[in-house]
Amino acid sequence: MTVKLIRQLGAGAGVALPEVRVIGEDPVLPSVFPLGTMAAASAGALAAAVAAYAARAGQGGVEGPGGGPHTHGDLGAPDVTIDVRHAAVAFQSERHFRADGKAMDVWAALSGDYRASDGWIRLHCNFDHHRDAAVRALGLPPGSGRQDVGRACAGRRAVEIEEAVIREGGCAAAMRSRAEWLAHPQARALAGVPPVGVFRLPGGDGRASGTGRGGTGRGETRGGADSGENCRGDGRARAGQMFGGPGGGLPAGAERPLGGVRVLDLTRVIAGPVAARALAAYGADVLRVGAAHLPEVPGLVVETAFGKRSCHIDLRSEADKLRELVRQADVVIQAYRPGALRARGFGPDDLAVLRPGIVCVDISAYGTSGPWASRRGFDSLVQMACGIAHENGDGLRPSPLPAQALDHGTGYLAAFGAVAALLRRAAEGGSWRVEVSLARTAAWLDDLGRIDGAGVRQPRVEDLLATMDSPFGTLTYVTPPGAIDGRRPHWTSPPPRQGEHPAAWAPPS
């Protein structure tokens, strides 16, 4: 099943992937959902795409990917493997992370599930402004505690609380059954959306590719004859050139197959940072862009930062710094609510003008269309809304998955989509957009069926852990899953301190 899923992901993204050998099978984690299969398929698809990218670069020579379509037979098919247990444990990476032997506590005091008058509601209060919004929505004074919140929730309907918190700018989700979610307008809006959308942006030659910062940005196409200055008449890069200008890099070698690929990580908790971290494990140059005034979850920002550098840019006054980074980037990953960056002049169409050949990866909670397109959300909330927390237990109270599987699954699918778009760019030219969402990943998981895994014990993890010295002490972490010709992805640097580096790309090594 996992091999078939990887093939389907490749076909949906428009790329040919090498075969993947799958080691192990479900059940791996205690759940009725096949989380091991989900993890192995998403991480395995990334490994296969990286192998295809490396093979294409090898075919084109050290100077470029070449202009012709890649066939694996020219160099021999790469041996790509994914271990189901390893992939599943990687989906639990924050649970196994230690700094000087200490685990991290990622949940704020008011975050959690509360009984409502007709069911259950989950409040996400890890950021102070989300906590304050929830307290206001419940009519409580600032500083209210968990018992106060519990009493306020008990007298109101779950969906009523959900809507009130959302109106106040907070994050909440009522527990729905699978049937209730499938009947919801947002579920219907996602029904025709692929798990990983890979779309070509019009205007990849530097012309405006959309309606600008006030537009809808929905003008993507899956093909077309647009070509940039580095392209042949058929839209593919000339031999010896990576389409799109100075940011396009080439693999530094088999050990670091994405070496030279520059990735801007404009994301926070958790899917986006996982995507960028996964690309860093294969050698990409990842620069994480944060800002001093934006809230973070301290432990998570460390755990997801292996292999990255970190800078601060305040878009309210330093937007030109980000524009200069984009001009030399290959991939930009962002997970702000749909339209938020477009309003500041950094929508996919704007990025394609700044850097023809860019790959824009957009991660959202509920997708970019439908009534919930602009709704804030996190993994635990999407599990509640989509029926997963209902079905994973007895249906009487929420039972979350034994991993932030929607976050990690979406992160690996986003990373896969980024590499697939790089392959499409090398073959066809153009600028590209990749679109994934937690809710669409939840639907993908739902489509995988159910297994008899509720009573399974947690897998052993000791052989999947490693340690690294860092500014935060000695870190214990889960190594990244997958292998290409026996070589495993890995991180060569520890997590940096936030804003430790200048807002500039590292010079070539």
Residue pLDDT, tens place only, 12-60: 999 999 999 999 999 999 999 999 999 999 999 999 999 999 998 876 5
Q: Residue 167 burial (CB < 10 Å; 0-12/13-18/19+)? A: exposed
Instruction: Report pLDDT for 509.
Output: 66
Instruction: Report pLDDT for 295.
Output: 67
**Cα Dmax for the chain:** 68
For residues 465 and 479, the answer to whether their CB atoms sit within 8 Å is yes
DSSP letters along 67-123, please?
SSPP-GGGT----EEEEHHHHHHHTTHHHH-EETTBPP----TT-EEEEETTEEEEE
Instruction: Report pLDDT for 65.
Output: 31
Instruction: Report pLDDT for 377.
Output: 93
For residues 16 and 423, the answer to whether their CB atoms sit within 8 Å is no
Instruction: Report pLDDT for 2.
Output: 98
Where residue 217 falls (left for φ over 0; alpha for ψ -120 to 50; beta otherwise) is left
Q: Along the 509 residues of the chain, how does pLDDT read in single tens digits?
A: 999 999 999 999 999 999 999 999 999 999 999 999 999 999 999 999 999 999 988 765 333 333 333 333 345 789 999 999 999 999 999 999 999 999 988 889 999 999 999 999 999 999 999 999 999 999 999 999 999 999 999 999 999 999 999 999 999 999 999 999 999 999 999 999 999 999 999 865 433 333 232 333 334 443 332 333 333 333 333 322 333 343 444 444 668 999 999 999 999 889 999 999 999 999 999 999 998 877 666 778 899 999 999 999 999 999 999 999 999 999 999 998 878 888 899 999 999 999 999 999 999 999 999 999 999 999 999 999 999 999 998 889 999 999 999 999 999 999 999 999 999 999 999 999 999 999 999 999 999 999 999 999 999 999 999 999 999 999 999 999 999 999 999 999 999 999 999 999 998 76
Instruction: For residue 262, list its beta bridge partners.
Output: 285
Alpha helices, DSSP H, located in 176-270 = 178-182, 185-190
- Residue 330 CA: distances (Å) to CA of 6, 98, 281: 24, 32, 16
Instruction: Report pLDDT for 508.
Output: 78
Cα separation, 491 vs 303, in Å, equals 12
Number of other residues whose CB lies within 10 A of the CB of residue 140: 15
Instruction: Report pLDDT for 255.
Output: 82
Residue pLDDT, tens place only, 265-280: 999 889 999 999 999 9
Instruction: Report pLDDT for 231.
Output: 33
Cα separation, 55 vs 77, in Å, equals 9
